[in-house]
Structure 1
Amino acid sequence: METTYFTKKDSIVRQIWGKADTILFIFAGAAAEFALNKAVDWLYYTGRLPKDPLGRLFSTVNYAKVIVFAEEKTAFQAIDQMNKIHAKIEENRGFKIPDWAYRDVLFMLIDYSIRAFEALERKLTLHEKEEVFQVFLKVGKGMKIADLPTNFKDWEIQRRSQLQDNFEYSDFTKDLFLQYKKHLGIIRYRLLLEAQILMAPKRIKELLNFRNQSILIAIIPFYRLSRIFKIDYILKELILPKDYKSDIKALDHSAAH
């Protein structure tokens, strides 16, 4: 009997999530949005986020990657495990994580999947964007998240609305960016900020007081060239924190399966 996977073998989502480069840009965008979300106190509740912000973000991104490439049954088991982890945190704290906070994280993964691929590779067609949306909609339904849009066009409308309503600059934001700086060091931290400037929607840029254009726009063509000549690993060795190098290399392996 043929194995059923969570995403089709020829899916654009596999192309997006099959390369460490793209995932790192998704990670950078997520790092900015996590810090601004009005529900960020939930991420601080266990104390694990401020202690290891990069590790916590990697685990979120890694969960998404595992689900994208897994067999359908395994993917739904991973989603179920995520539900149990959240339920335990809610039980310990004594109240529920709001539905809109779950939607925010799901929407963030959809948005930055598209933005990262378009920044590094090419523009996606509307059909491909719809495909990205539908894969993550399946994740959202597995997590029993309420009030999800049913197609990409409706998602765009909801995304604009939640960007206006659910984000603010707070003491948590300030602290989290200080933690990023501390864990990355000044040069890598500057690179993170440039990636965020490149990736962030207008509303996120406004809240973080970012300028409009990233200097990475000028560098990306050279990076693409380095990939053609197979010397991009030299750049990665220079810019990646050594504690996460094995994590990042592992991200690159999934596309082949």
Structure 2
Amino acid sequence: MKHFVDDKSIVREIWKNTDIVLLIFAGSAAEFALNKAVDWLYFTGKIPTNPLERLFSTVEFAQKIVFSEEEFALATIDKITQIHQGVEKSRGQTIPDWAYRDVLYMLIDYSIRSFELIERKLETSEKEEIFDVFSRLGIRMGLKELPNNYNDWLIDRTIHLENNLQKGAFTIHLFEQYKKHLGNSRYFILLEIQKILVPKIVFKMIFETSNFPTKTLLKLYKISKILKVDYLAKAILLPKKHKESITNIGKYETL
């Protein structure tokens, strides 16, 4: 039985970990709000009006790809492609190829950054493995001009960050929506987490300074996991109506 992602892949370890998956989307939420193609979100209106629901929908798609047999994973990727093509047809425009690459690059980068933030430093071979998985996803979607390897991706990632970001009205509105759906306390924590996750260029465009001891709190959270009392922190930090969706992230099994 062949799977899209090997059973022993670091990608599986990353995407079955609830904490890491939430960090991936926390970082992506900051960066994508700056993306020059963010207006596409406002065409459908789904993410701006309900960002948390869209988060869990995206996680479900991602985990279907990571943990499924290859045939089912490829069908899931094709479904994602069809959804985007439907949006393009409705708008009468084509989503820029660089915008697709931007999203793909975020998944690669924040998978690495999030894992290293709460677990350990990744080996170069593991980073290359992460790149390979998402590169194959991009190829299946028909994306053009994808880098050939991890080192080339590092260069292209920097170019994309320098050329494809801007802070505008959409950026401000998206962050307002994050605050609306999370509440003041959780929104504050989101911002602090984003500050230590995102690349420097993203930090400079959104934030001013970071004086809150976020890294100290992360260390305490790691201790709480060792003591198996981390459920208390999650009960405080996560909205009640999404607790089941959050719990399901860590229960995903191979299809």
Per the TM alignment, residue 47 of structure 1 is displaced from its structure 2 partner at its CA by 1.4
Distance 1:182 1:4 in 2: 43
- Per-residue CA deviation, residues 27-72 of structure 1 (Å, 9 max, x unaligned), is 1001101211100000110111221012223322332222111111
For residue 57 of structure 1, the aligned residue among 55, 58, 62 is 55
> Residue 254 of structure 1 aligns to a residue in which SS?
coil
Q: Is the 8 A contact 1:99 1:145 kept in 2?
A: yes
Instruction: List structure 1 segments (4+ residues) > 4 angstroms apart after TM superposition.
Output: none
Q: Is the 8 A contact 1:79 1:142 kept in 2?
A: yes
Distance 1:55 1:33 in 2: 18
Q: Is the 8 A contact 2:20 2:115 kept in 1?
A: yes
For residue 251 of structure 2, the aligned residue among 241, 250, 253 is 253
Aligned to 1:197: 195
- The worse-fitting range, judged by mean Cα deviation, of 62-71 and 8-17 is 62-71
Per the TM alignment, residue 13 of structure 1 is displaced from its structure 2 partner at its CA by 0.6
- Per-residue CA deviation, residues 123-174 of structure 1 (Å, 9 max, x unaligned), is 0010100000000011101111100001110000000000000011010000
Distance 1:218-1:256 versus aligned 2 partners, 3 A rule: farther
Aligned to 1:140: 138
For residue 150 of structure 2, the aligned residue among 149, 152, 174 is 152
The equivalences for 1:50-199 within 5 A come to 50-199=48-197
Amino acid at match of 2:230: D
Aligned to 1:206: 204
Distance 1:10 1:112 in 2: 20
Q: Is the 8 A contact 1:15 1:255 kept in 2?
A: no
TM-score (norm 2): 0.97
**RMSD over aligned Cα atoms:** 1.4
Q: Is the 8 A contact 1:22 1:117 kept in 2?
A: yes
Distance 1:75 1:17 in 2: 15
Question: Please, which runs of 5 or more residues in structure 1 have no aligned partner?
Answer: none
Distance 2:176 2:3 in 1: 40
Question: Please, which runs of 5 or more residues in structure 2 have no aligned partner?
Answer: none
- Per-residue CA deviation, residues 169-218 of structure 1 (Å, 9 max, x unaligned), is 01000000000001100000001001100110011001102436762211
TM-score (norm 1): 0.96
Amino acid at match of 2:112: I
Distance 1:217 1:187 in 2: 17
Q: Is the 8 A contact 1:19 1:255 kept in 2?
A: no
Aligned to 1:220: 218
Distance 1:12-1:213 versus aligned 2 partners, 3 A rule: farther
Distance 1:170-1:12 versus aligned 2 partners, 3 A rule: same
> Residue 36 of structure 1 aligns to a residue in which SS?
coil
Distance 1:197 1:165 in 2: 21
Distance 1:144-1:214 versus aligned 2 partners, 3 A rule: farther
Distance 1:29 1:189 in 2: 13
Distance 2:60 2:150 in 1: 24
Distance 1:214 1:151 in 2: 37
Q: Is the 8 A contact 2:118 2:218 kept in 1?
A: yes
Q: Is the 8 A contact 1:27 1:58 kept in 2?
A: no
Q: Is the 8 A contact 1:4 1:72 kept in 2?
A: yes
Distance 1:47-1:15 versus aligned 2 partners, 3 A rule: same
